[in-house]
Chain A
Amino acid sequence: MDSSPLIAVPDVLIHYQGIMTNEVLKAMVRQLEASFLAKGVRMPRVKKINAVLIECLQNLIHHAESLTPIGTDAPEIEVAQEDKICAIRTRNLVSEKRRGLLQVKLDSINQMDSAELRSAYKAAMESGEVMGRNTAGLGFLDVARKSADQQIHFNFEPTGTGLYFFDLRVRV
């Protein structure tokens, strides 16, 4: 995972690498919620952080290439916090085709301001093209809307096998 810090001296709350399922997701959400509430974080903020975490994790569950589901190529997630900023970072393998789609989608999202993000989210939801599992576009719009800087930071690292590590970072 890219070691460049999203925040200085982070307090790592969750770090997990391995097979990603909804059961893992639920366990993380419960753990994070309990951790934040114990620290006195108010419920609406806990919900916002969990919302971003859930979208990121469900993106891993539904879209991560699973050619090597265990080991250092397995999907990875980290949640860290310092003061009032929470940083969520995921890494997973993607195909060349999906890398291209993600690049276009995320570049477009990162050029939007908050009003444009809200408008694009509504349009995507009304379009009817995102029913079922294929909701990554809507999910990224939601993540960007809820992030501290309306940005989804990302990069792709080639593996030399035709796949890429997709590194995604969000500040909430």
Chain B
Amino acid sequence: MKVGVLGVGQVPFTGPNDIPMGELGGRAARAALADAGIAASEVGMAAVGSVYEHPSVGQRVLLQLGLNGIPLVNLENACASATSAVIDAVRWIQAGEADVALAIGVDKMASHYSSGPLPLVNETDTFGAQGLTVPAYFGLIAEKHMAEFGSTREDFARISHKNRTYAEQNPFARFRKAPSLDEILASPVIATPIGKFDCCANGDGAAAVVLCSEAYARRHAAARVVWIRATELGGGVLGDRLDDDPMTGLARRAYERSGIGPEDIQVVECHDNFSIGEFEAYERLDFCAHGEGHLYLRAGKSAIGGKGAAFNPSGGLLGRSHPAGATGCAQIGSIVQQLRGAAGPMQHPGARAGLVQTSGGGVMELQSNATTVVILSL
């Protein structure tokens, strides 16, 4: 059954703020409902993603909307929590259990962790005990790519510069003034080759997506609807992600199921938690061959207006900042605006199909905790 996106909305992603978590999620949900042009009373179920909040986030958010008693699922899948919430909402509609479903992501990660590398779980974690930090894990992936394929620190800096420059145009991004390429290259090294500006920052924020059945969309607002074409969710896979990652298998399945391949996709929001993350996505989502990510970048193919797919036109995690539980809904929101042709100065010309990839980590012996791939089109 086809599922449509009727509305998207978010609050600005910021540093630590004093807006309570429930209200933050409520504001994002109201923005998405206003964008959809429907009342909260139309919502038949809600799926709410978060990572670092207290239990019962969804209940606190729905209180803000005056919504009582509807089916509600709280979801935690690390950084892929909000995308998982979207996928869950899609499933409820596909199952015929709801006509309209609301997916919300919310986190106040900047309030919980002001700066610096996120701590790993605890000292009984053998990776943490050996001195692993999250940036260093991505440093290990990047150093291998550099040694094997000839990419350089400057390539990673260019991704950071590209996405942070796009964020200047995104009113919801935390970072509205991009550093220069030289400033990025001169920033302190966190774990080679990753410098400070190759890392996304924690953020406080919330984003939401209103989804509906095909019949509801036809009755309501068919002209504005963006369709969900494929939704793939994979759990943890034991092993390191130096050479591969579950995103490849999930993306290929999504391409097969939707009949939309990378050559048909013009816009991508991928998980650039570190600049190497976007690099991985070029290759592992089959937008270029394995080991050629730097060539794809250097040819300008991942730029807005470039000859490939525009990656992270909203600024990505690098530009928006990363409230872990909210990111996926912001990614979906960006692609929906692109496909509507409503992305303003961030618009990639001729966008007809888009892809969202989100990878959540934290259990370090796994390639990722959860990986999601969503394909959308007009």
The answer to whether A and B come from one shared complex is: no
